[in-house]
Amino acid sequence: MIRKVSGAILALVLIAGVASAQTITAGGATFPYPMYSKWFDEYHKKVPSVSINYQSIGSGGGVQQVTAGTLDFGASDYALTDAQLKEFHDKRGFNVLAFPTVLGADVPAYNLPGVTAVLNFTPEALAGIFLGKITKWNDPAITGPNPGVNLPNENIVVVHRSDGSGTTFIWVDYLCKISPEWDKGPGRGASVNWPTGLGGKGNEAVAGLVHQTRFSLGYVELTYALQTKMAYGNVKNSAGVFMKADLASVTAASAAVKDMPDDFRVSITNPPGKGAYPIASFTWLLVPEKISDPAKKKAITDFLGWMLTDGQNVTEALSYAKLPASVVAKEKKAIAKIQ
Amino acid sequence: MSAPATTIDAPPEGRARSLWKRLRDGDEIAHTVTFLCAFAVIAVTALLVFELYRNSEPSRLKFGWSFLWTKTWDPVAGKFGALPFIYGTIVTSALAMIIAIPLGVGAAIFLAELAPPGISSALTFLIELLAAVPSVIIGFLGFFVLLPALLRAEPYIRSALGWTPLFSGPFYGVSFFTAGVVLSVMIVPFIISISREVILSVPSDQREAALALGATRWESTWDVVVPFARKGIVGSIFLALARSLGETMAVTMVIGNDPKISASLFAPGYSIAAVIANEFAEATGDLYQGALIELGLVLFALTIIINGAARILVVSTTRKGTSQ
């Protein structure tokens, strides 16, 4: 008897569960993963019938899996290329839409024993250092914008990411824009052929290498630097102001972009504007234009709407820079494109 | 065996006969089951190689054999070569073996032959514990403990060995040398643990005979027991070598991840397993992924070649003086 009753209850629970729960599978970029997992958790508390399962498999995997249709939506730290968009369209017969969610930025971190001042870096100095052309800390390109700082006659030990990452993409995308030599040489990508330097796997390894190696210079993701309270340098923006990266100056960088394209595929490194930090980027959700299951479609579009309103209010607690109002307004209109 | 059985005990007829036969065929069943177990392992290995071969096609077609001796690794330009990674894998493993073999075999001899039983079992327990430490933990220790220690020890190493090209150039802490030392820490427990078991299993009459002939304890250990256990000790070294060739996490944390070929052990380098771990997740495009998968194939081939060469070396040098 008891067994029968409990069996019936179990069956009821199962049926109820199946009927109401909408599970959405998503995956991709690792950089915004802490933010996304917080969002999906918060949203599940607000709308218990929708649960979004996100796997941080990397941007490459996110693009691949959403193209193959194994994910309901993907996530990537890089804007899709024309070839990738075409591949998606060829395979699925419709387009994929990109929605910026938060912003990422890279900061230069260094280890200079005896130097306590915050260093100023010009674009030329950063490009020269990473190209291996500027090798000493007391090179005029570095001492020039840092009057009064006693920089040593020591070799610069360059540290970069060894794993493919959006953090690297932002950094080299910036170097491509400010240095024709970099653009022609190593170029743009999640991993590149570095002219010089040591590689560390992940932000934590780069930070660890910089911490342990005297006279080193590396780049780390701003979120990581803020969370671990690392010291980092300022970078000169295109208006000639040495900017400290913080959440406000990163949001300002994306607001400064003129002519935001309708598909949001835009690089925002080296933007105009006095208050903009120059080494920043959007990170995107990749949502198919056609979602055949109406319940799923509603769940995804509702989530996007929430992410652009309430979701944006919780980003700064996790040290992510939020979207500027202009981009939010444009994205809200773009949600209507999902059929 | 079967000939007398047929004469003494004639096989029953019909149904009973087949049952009897099946019972007698217990051997056959055991044979089949164990054969399937062995076959499964080989099948998985074969499938692995096949999949690596199939998925590396874009890279194999584009680069051919030149993949093996090209030094450039440029994901942006789509130029891929395996040489710096092959070099790094071989150099770090060789260094690890140079450190780990004497250390491991020496410790195994002490634990099995010379140490008091209480100390031996306590130490063996600790060493087997070391073998169970996950490689990422060893990597962390290497990065946060060994690396600063090596940076402090650098002037002494340089003053002793700096005249060789092996220890020239700047030292940043991450290097072939650091990776080799970390690898040796990881593989030494394998050598000790297996070698000790093998030495312990040498029949005691071997030792007694040597002692009776007037050998000292060390002479009996070194001239009789160790040669007797040679095959097992060599086996433990092969296992350690395989582990060090394929080690990923600990190596990538301390090798510097710079695909360059340098004579100096103090220079940063890269290994095959490390580059796959670093770049696979974000590798986009068939050629890039194909190149990484081909590196996996190269690592597989490298393991077979090095193991085979080592085995030939062992066979050609152990003809005489051993009992096995």
Q: Which helix (H) or strand (E) holds B287?
A: helix B286-317
Which two structure tokens, joined as six digits, stand for B44?
A: 């998985």
As a whole number, mean pLDDT of residues B36-63 equals 93
Domain for residue B193, yes or no?
yes
Q: Which domain holds residue B32?
A: 11-55
A259 or B88: which leads in pLDDT: B88
Tell whether A210 lies on the interface with B, counting CB pairs under 8 A. no
Closest to A308 in 3D by CA, of A333, A277, A289, A338: A333
Domain for residue B231, yes or no?
yes
Q: Domain limits of chain A?
A: 19-104+281-337, 105-254
**For A157, which of B72, B172, B283 is closest by C-beta distance?**
B172
| Most confident region among A82-91, A165-174, B36-45 by mean pLDDT | B36-45
Domain for residue B76, yes or no?
no
pLDDT range class, residue A81, cuts 50, 70, 90: confident
Which two structure tokens, joined as six digits, stand for B273?
A: 């397993």
Tell whether A220 lies on the interface with B, counting CB pairs under 8 A. no
pLDDT of A158 > 60? The answer is yes
Chain B residues whose beta carbon lies within 8 Å of the beta carbon of residue A57: 281
pLDDT range class, residue B6, cuts 50, 70, 90: very low
Each residue's pLDDT tens digit, A167-178: 899 999 999 999
Q: How far is CA B158 from CA A294, B119, B150, in A?
A: 70, 37, 11
pLDDT of B25 > 80? The answer is no
Each residue's pLDDT tens digit, A41-60: 999 999 888 899 998 888 88
Fold of the CATH domain A105-254: D-Maltodextrin-Binding Protein; domain 2 (3.40.190)
B90 and B18 inside one domain = no
Q: Which of A212, A213, A283, A286 would you mutate first to test chain B, the one with the most B CBs within 10 A?
A: A212
pLDDT of A24 > 70? The answer is yes
B235 or B103: which leads in pLDDT: B103
Q: How far is A316 from chain B (nearest CA, A)?
A: 27
pLDDT at A181: 92
**Beta-carbon separation of B281 and A208 below 8 A:** no
B16 and B150 inside one domain = no
Report how far residue B14's alpha carbon sits from residue B36's, in angstroms, rounded to the nearest whole number: 30
B213 and B95 inside one domain = yes
pLDDT at B165: 81
Domain for residue B266, yes or no?
yes
**For A192, which of B76, B143, B148 is closest by C-beta distance?**
B76
Q: How far is CA A328 from CA A96, A102, A322, B206, B301, in A?
A: 19, 10, 10, 83, 53
Q: How far is B139 from chain A (nearest CA, A)?
A: 11
pLDDT of A252 > 80? The answer is yes
Chain B residues whose beta carbon lies within 8 Å of the beta carbon of residue A212: 143, 147-148, 151, 173
pLDDT of B324 > 70? The answer is no
Q: How far is CA A161 from CA A202, A204, A206, B132, in A?
A: 6, 10, 6, 29
Report how far residue A226's alpha carbon sits from residue A207's, in angstroms, rounded to the nearest whole number: 12
pLDDT of A219 > 80? The answer is yes
Residue in chain B closest to A167 (alpha carbons) equals B282
Instruction: Count how many domains chain B has.
Output: 2
pLDDT at A17: 46
**Beta-carbon separation of A201 and B278 below 8 A:** yes
pLDDT at A188: 87
As a whole number, mean pLDDT of residues A78-101 equals 88
Domain for residue B67, yes or no?
no
* Locus of tokens 């910036």: A174
Q: How far is A21 from chain B (nearest CA, A)?
A: 31
pLDDT at B323: 45
Domain for residue B79, yes or no?
no
Q: How far is A209 from chain B (nearest CA, A)?
A: 9
B195 and B112 inside one domain = yes
Average pLDDT, chain A: 87
A19-104+281-337 matches A105-254 in fold: yes
Tell whether B278 lies on the interface with A, counting CB pairs under 8 A. yes
As a whole number, mean pLDDT of residues A226-245 equals 88
pLDDT range class, residue B321, cuts 50, 70, 90: very low
pLDDT at B15: 65
Right CATH for A19-104+281-337 from 3.40.50.880, 3.40.640.10, 3.40.190.10, 3.30.1330.30:
3.40.190.10
Report how far residue B322's alpha carbon sits from residue B324's, in angstroms, rounded to the nearest whole number: 6
**Beta-carbon separation of A205 and B172 below 8 A:** no
**Beta-carbon separation of A188 and B76 below 8 A:** yes
B44 and B122 inside one domain = no
B125 and B274 inside one domain = yes
Q: How far is A174 from chain B (nearest CA, A)?
A: 15
Report how far residue B137's alpha carbon sits from residue B33's, in angstroms, rounded to the nearest whole number: 39
pLDDT range class, residue B40, cuts 50, 70, 90: very high
Backbone angles phi, psi at B108, to 5 degrees: -65, -40
pLDDT of B3 > 50? The answer is no
As a whole number, mean pLDDT of residues A289-316 equals 89
Q: Is the pTM of this model over 0.80?
A: yes
As a whole number, mean pLDDT of residues A104-108 equals 91
> DSSP E strands: which ranges in chain B?
73-74, 79-80
B42 and B149 inside one domain = no
pLDDT range class, residue A109, cuts 50, 70, 90: very high
pLDDT range class, residue B4, cuts 50, 70, 90: very low
Q: How far is A42 from chain B (nearest CA, A)?
A: 28
**Beta-carbon separation of A201 and B253 below 8 A:** yes
pLDDT of A79 > 80? The answer is yes
Residue in chain B closest to A166 (alpha carbons) equals B282
Query: Which residues, in sequence order, are CB contacts of B137 under 8 Å at separation 6+?
Result: none
Burial class (CB in 10 A: 0-12, 13-18, 19+), B102: exposed
Q: How far is A11 from chain B (nearest CA, A)?
A: 40
Chain B residues whose beta carbon lies within 8 Å of the beta carbon of residue A190: 75, 282-284
Closest to A131 in 3D by CA, of A109, A99, A156, A167: A156
pLDDT of A6 > 60? The answer is no
pLDDT at B2: 44
**Beta-carbon separation of A193 and B281 below 8 A:** no
Q: How far is CA B275 from CA A191, A195, A308, B63, B141, in A?
A: 11, 17, 38, 18, 21
**For A212, which of B170, B173, B282 is closest by C-beta distance?**
B173
CATH number at residue B210: 1.10.3720.10
Tell whether A209 lies on the interface with B, counting CB pairs under 8 A. yes
Chain A residues whose beta carbon lies within 8 Å of the beta carbon of residue B281: 30, 57-58, 60-61, 163-164
A 10 A CB-CB count for B324 gives: 9
**Beta-carbon separation of B75 and A164 below 8 A:** yes
Tell whether B279 lies on the interface with A, counting CB pairs under 8 A. yes
